[in-house]
Amino acid sequence: MRKELSFITVIGLDKKGIVAKISNILYLNDINIEDISQKVMEGYFVMTMLVDMKDSKRSIDEMRAELEKLGRSMKLKIQIQHEDLFNTMHRI
């Protein structure tokens, strides 16, 4: 089955447990992490995760709601978006 790739973007202040908490949510929903990067940009801690949702128990909308809830509790902005958006905007 083809991969269903999406990017999770986390923006905010660095703190302990970000990767652990997000990874746990992904694991519980059968979502595989393909790649992780992190960097400080314009003063923000930024982390991106490329995830495969082909076996996911939940839709992208439900995952967004759950990640946003976590984001609110950790004072972080967390987004999830299908990878086609990035390929279209940044690759010809």
Cα 67 to Cα 23, 36, 73, 88, distances in angstroms: 11, 16, 10, 24
Q: Which is nearer to other proteins, 20 or 41 (CB)?
A: 41
Whose Cβ is closer to other proteins: residue 28's or residue 85's? 85
- Other CB atoms within 10 A of residue 89 CB: 7
- Out of 2, 7, 23, 58, the only residue in the binding site for other proteins (CB under 8 A) is 7
* β-pair partners for 10: 47, 78
Task: Say whether residue 38 binds other proteins (CB under 8 A).
Answer: yes
Residue 15 touching other proteins (CB under 8 A): no
